[in-house]
Amino acid sequence: MDTTAVKRIPFFRDPSKLAILYQILSIAGVALLAYYLISNTLANLERQSISTGFGFFAKESAFEIGESIIDYSSADSYGRALVVGFLNTLIVSLIGITLTVFLGSFIGIARLSSNWLVAKLSAAYIELFQDIPILLQLFFWYAFFYEMLPSPRQALNPIDGLFLCNRGLIFAIPAWHTAFLYAGIAFIVGLIIIFFLKRWVAKQQEATGRSFPTVKVSIAILLGLPLLAWLVSGAPTEMNTPALKGFNFKGGITISPEFTALLLGLVLYTAAFVAEVVRAGIQSVSKGQKEAAMSIGLKPGLVLNLVVLPQALRVIIPPLTSQLLNLTKNSSLAVAIGYPDFVSVAGTTINQTGQAIEGVALIMIVYLIFSLSTSAYMNWYNKKIAIVER
Amino acid sequence: MEETPPEKTTQRLRPPIRNVGILSWIRANLFNGWFNTILSLVFAYVLFLTIPPFIEWAFINSNWVSTSEECKASSGACWSIVTANIRFILFGFYPHDLQWRPLLAVVILVLLLFYSQNRKHWAKSLAYAWAIGLFSMGLLLKGGLFGLVSVDSSNWGGLPLTLLLSVFGLTAAYPVGIILALGRQSNMPIIKSFCIIYIELIRGVPLISLLFMSSVVFPLFLPEGMSINPILRAQVAIIMFTAAYIAEVVRGGLQGVERGQYEAAESIGLNYFQSMRRIILPQALRIVIPPSVSILISAFKDTSLVVIIALYDLLKTTQTTLSDPKWMGYSSEAYIFVAMIYFVCCFFMSNYSRKLEKELDTDL
């Protein structure tokens, strides 16, 4: 018999066997917890005679929603009410994201300005808006619109056709005319032309080495084509101006105080974080890169486009996305100031139907879809821009 | 014989007047180039338009201690809304003559925070001090022992509640977050996927959905007749939420520890728990101190969301004061006061985190 044979390791010292044991235990633990919670919940639901499932979608909602971009009345179903809420969340997020990116980049660049006053003011802005809870800022702006601004009769009228009062921001829009439809089509056509133009320019440059003023030509196409379409179809200039009728304004477009306060709060808060992200991104590109680009004879615009921005964006994009996702998630605070976003509508639905589990699950699913699609995009983007190492 | 040193022939030149002093500083920092000159002028004009009226409103025409009637008569800020209701804003419905207790709890917390600031004090004794401190804070708020009258948690409110939710939230969430991070890094596929699902799920939803869950769904999870008070429920939601974020931060720290350290720990025969406890975690946690402070800051700000499920935190007590017909219409003043409290706390914490980042950076 071989006496030097290794003694068998007892299973409680063998990591691979222990791993199996731990995993079985953790599955059992989670399953037990789930069983306990589900059985309790079912018992509670039965006792309180709360119905389950998503049957309430088709039922009449019987509540009004303050603002909606699709037709909605209290006679419509819960399903439609939730769609209205979802669209409202989407609108405020999309507009908010666009404004935030612009304002945030602007402040981030201003933070690095050689002008002392501008740099210090941006630093103060960033510090101030980052350190005050977003909810408090929303309350502040909402109260500002309700208390500081006058009633519609004494509405502020800084520019002709624009009114600011405690019913919101009211301004004139061009009256509807088919010319605008044609202009819109012309804009889309312009985008398509630019897409092909870019490919052509890239090919030309590969072949001949000559550059082409793509940006200027693109801007000219984007502005010129719709303008041409508008001129050709009769150049209508009629405006739909708001006018005071009784206690409120008629005509024009009204942006409610809730929406304005929410948008303002979200944009000002998130822009402070975006500014820091942009600043860090710009600072991450070493000076040598810029100097090297200049020394091989690139023009300043090309230095920015071909050397600095691609490197800075690699640093900026991931945290920027997470900040913009935060903006989307923070838009759920609309419920606190009465803007009918998805959470707010779902909250009302929960109160009326008593189906809390379905309601909260819906909220979570909607936001998870936002987050997961964003992170899927992020992973794709990170792969695309990752430095290819030798 | 003494030799006199040769007389200095060099003459000290004063720096050119254009390069020193305030004027040159202004030239270099505000008016270097036409673009910066325009910027400076525009911003100076905007400041000129906004700052003086604000100072007039906030300080010169303002009322500090007055009745609401006097406020209505004046054009300035009405800080009286804060001074007249300070105790309600800070302590909520806590019994009036017992309010020294939450005050003392807040003071203990602030002292602990200040003491912990200094890295020289970071030792085991500090952990004990925190344990004792947190326990005595809870005891002061709750009472019921050592002759302290018991105060029901439904009366807790204001600043102590805000601090309680954020500090206890972070303290309790930290161990959970570390476990989640270790789970996510482990090579056991099932545990790993549980942790990933939890972390991504929580990070993908807004805190408010978890708070909703704690207030409307959680009661359904409990067996009949059992109930948990709303503050604890909100606290659990905040802990669950914060833990997911801490897990991601700690994961960053774990990835920051060199591979050689893991291998070295294994090669001297330490098992998984020993190597984590003795080798990996001490290094990983050290890396993640600054981001942890940022999490504390966001947790502190995020606790204000409990307003939405009707807990009387600092923001809710302020709103309640504002709904008093006597003080209606002075929300700017009240909100500015609360904003200042939040700002001062967050400002110190973020400055501290930046300082710490620099210190730790040079050591490594």
Packing angle, helices B158-185 and B189-204, rounded to 10: 150
Q: Which two tokens stand for residue B333?
A: 């003043």
Residue B188 lies in a domain: yes
| Sequence letter at residue B222 | L
| DSSP 8-state class, residue B32 | S
Residue identified by tokens 């990835």 is: B255
Is there a contact between A26 and B343 if contact means CB atoms under 8 Å apart?
no
Same domain, B52 and B166: no
DSSP state of B14: P
Interface contact flag, A41 B346, Cβ < 8 Å: no
Answer yes or no: do A43 and B308 touch at CB < 8 A: no
Q: Is residue B125 part of a domain?
A: no
- Chain segment B246-291, per-residue pLDDT in tens: 998 898 888 888 888 888 988 998 888 888 888 888 888 888 887 8
d(CA B85, CA B67): 11
**B143 in Cβ contact with B149 (< 8 Å):** yes
Chain A: nearest CA to B222, how far in angstroms?
Answer: 6
How many domains does chain B contain in total? 2
Compare CB distances from B209 to A30, A44, A360 and report the shortest one's residue: A360
B214 pLDDT band, cuts 50/70/90, is confident
Contact B305, B208 (CB under 8 A): yes
Asked whether residue B103 is assigned to any structural domain, the reply reads no
| Nearest residue to A331 via CA among A269, A286, A247, A255 | A269
Do A174 and A225 contact (CB within 8 A), yes or no?
no
Is residue B189 in a domain? yes
Which of A96, A40, A16 minimizes the C-alpha distance to A328?
A96
Per residue of chain A (390 residues), what is the pLDDT tens digit?
A: 455 556 677 777 777 788 888 888 988 998 999 998 888 888 888 877 777 777 777 777 777 777 777 777 777 788 888 888 899 898 899 999 999 999 999 899 888 888 888 889 999 999 999 999 999 999 999 888 877 777 777 777 777 777 887 777 787 777 777 888 888 888 899 999 988 988 888 888 888 877 777 778 888 888 888 888 888 887 777 777 777 776 677 777 778 888 888 999 999 999 999 999 999 888 888 888 888 998 998 887 788 888 888 888 888 888 888 888 889 899 999 888 888 889 888 888 888 887 888 888 889 999 998 888 888 887 788 777 766 654
Within this chain, do residues B211 and B355 fall inside the same structural domain, yes or no?
yes
pTM: 0.84
- Residue A250's beta-bridge partner residues? A243
Tens digit of each residue's pLDDT (9 = 90 or more) over B167-202: 888 888 989 999 999 998 888 888 888 898 999 889
Contacts of A134 in chain B (CB under 8 A): 301
- For an interface test with A, give the residue of B205, B213, B342 to mutate (most A CBs within 10 A): B205
The domain of B303 spans 90-94+151-359
Query: In this structure, are B306 and B188 located in the same domain?
Result: yes
Statement to judge: residues B186 and B50 lie in one domain: no
Chain A residues with beta carbon closer than 8 angstroms to that of B315: 133, 135-136, 139
> Counting one residue from A and one from B, how many pairs have CB atoms under 8 Å apart?
162
Could you read off the pLDDT of B100-127 as tens digits, one per residue? 777 888 888 888 888 777 777 777 787 8
B157 and B296 assigned to the same domain = yes
Residues B156 and B17 in one domain: no
Verify whether the Cβ–Cβ distance B346 to A335 is below 8 Å: no
Q: What is the spatial distance between Cα A103 and Cα A127, in angstroms, rounded to a whole number?
A: 15
CATH code of the domain covering residue B211: 1.10.3720.10
Q: Is there a domain that residue B76 lies in?
A: no
Question: Per the domain annotation, does B185 fall within a domain?
Answer: yes
Residues 6+ apart with CB under 8 A from B149: B95, B98, B143
- Compute the CA torsion angle A295, A300, A306, A312 (nearest 10 deg): 100
Q: How many CB atoms lie within 10 A of CB B73?
A: 8
| Domain end point (choices B47, B62, B77) | B62
Contacts of A47 in chain B (CB under 8 A): 224
Which of these, A347, A345, A343, lies nearest to A328 by C-alpha position? A343
B136: nearest Cα among B106, B114, B157, B113: B106
Decide: B280 and B261 in contact? Cβ < 8 Å: yes
Could you please report the per-residue DSSP string of B329-363? Answer: T-HHHHHHHHHHHHHHHHHHHHHHHHHHHHHHHHH
Place of tokens 């006097």: B70
Residue B335 domain flag: yes
Check A23 against B209: CB less than 8 A apart: no
For A115, which of B39, B223, B272 is closest by C-beta distance?
Answer: B39
Question: CB under 8 Å, gap of 24 or more: what pairs does B355-364 form?
Answer: B356/B119, B356/B289, B356/B290, B356/B293, B357/B290, B359/B119, B360/B286, B360/B287, B360/B289, B360/B290, B364/B287
Beta bridge partners of B74: none
Burial class, B249, CB count within 10 angstroms (exposed 0-12 / middle 13-18 / buried 19+): buried
Task: Tell me: do B182 and B38 sit in the same domain.
Answer: no
Contacts 24+ apart (CB under 8 A), B193-199: B194/A26, B194/A30, B195/B247, B198/B244, B199/B244, B199/B247, B199/B248
CB B335 within 8 A of CB B318: yes
Residue B346 covered by a domain: yes
Question: Which residues make beta-bridge pairs with B63?
Answer: B78
